[in-house]
Amino acid sequence: MNETIFKDFPELRVVDTREIGSDRKIKSYVLRTAGLKKREARAIETYWPRYGLSFKEEMLDYSVLFGNDNPVVIEIGFGNGAATAHIAKMRSEYNYIGLEVFLTGIAKLLNAVGKEGLDNIKMMRFDAVEVLKHMIADASIAGFHIFFPDPWPKKRHVKRRLIQKPFAELLARKLIKGGYIYCVTDWQEYADQMLEVFDSIPDLTNPYGGFAPPIPWRLKTSFEKKGIEKEHPINEVWVEKA
């Protein structure tokens, strides 16, 4: 099933960053492969032409992409897309770009937004770091959402975590003045690291002085529910560009 989709939509094949000459050590994802169910393949065939984006080494023109000048929010790693679809519907005054490499998650989000007929969202299957570097202009993004990134709990794997200073600096550079980064995790040590990393970026300020209160428009994700079942604390981090 996957091969048929890749034949029809070759941009859905994840391109390893090494193939385009990148020598950086940190990627925004670890690829997990899974076969598509028939309904998921059908969602891609039906809705990808409307909502899908291809990676290109050229800056996106948001007004052309969305047909308006509304502020743009990027979500990195949207999982099954339930929270993404909910937020796009609830906060329709924003445009959204979702970045995810999990093909089943892309199919689920496509199905959700396609059935709702939402017109303020696009998505791409590619490494977020490369997208930010090559397709997103500096000082052009209103916000970033990063919900439950892989915590890499083992000490020897901590260096693989997404939220580290070089990545935070990249996010800050892409934000407009007053733009925000909104992260959520159920891993306490990672939450503490997020605060420390963002605090080290001169352009970012924390209006809460620590963890943020729950943001009412964010839908609880499946990862959050699992964390709660394990009695993990749910920590939210919100910082803004000064």
Which residues are marked as active site?
150
Cα–Cα dist 47/117, whole Å? 10
Whether 187 contacts 150, CB under 8 Å: no
The CA radius of gyration of the chain, in Å to the nearest whole number, is: 17
Q: Map residue 241 onto helix, strand or coil.
A: strand
Q: Map residue 143 onto helix, strand or coil.
A: strand
Those residues with Cβ within 8 angstroms of residue 43's Cβ, 6 or more apart along the chain or in another chain: 107, 108, 110, 111, 114
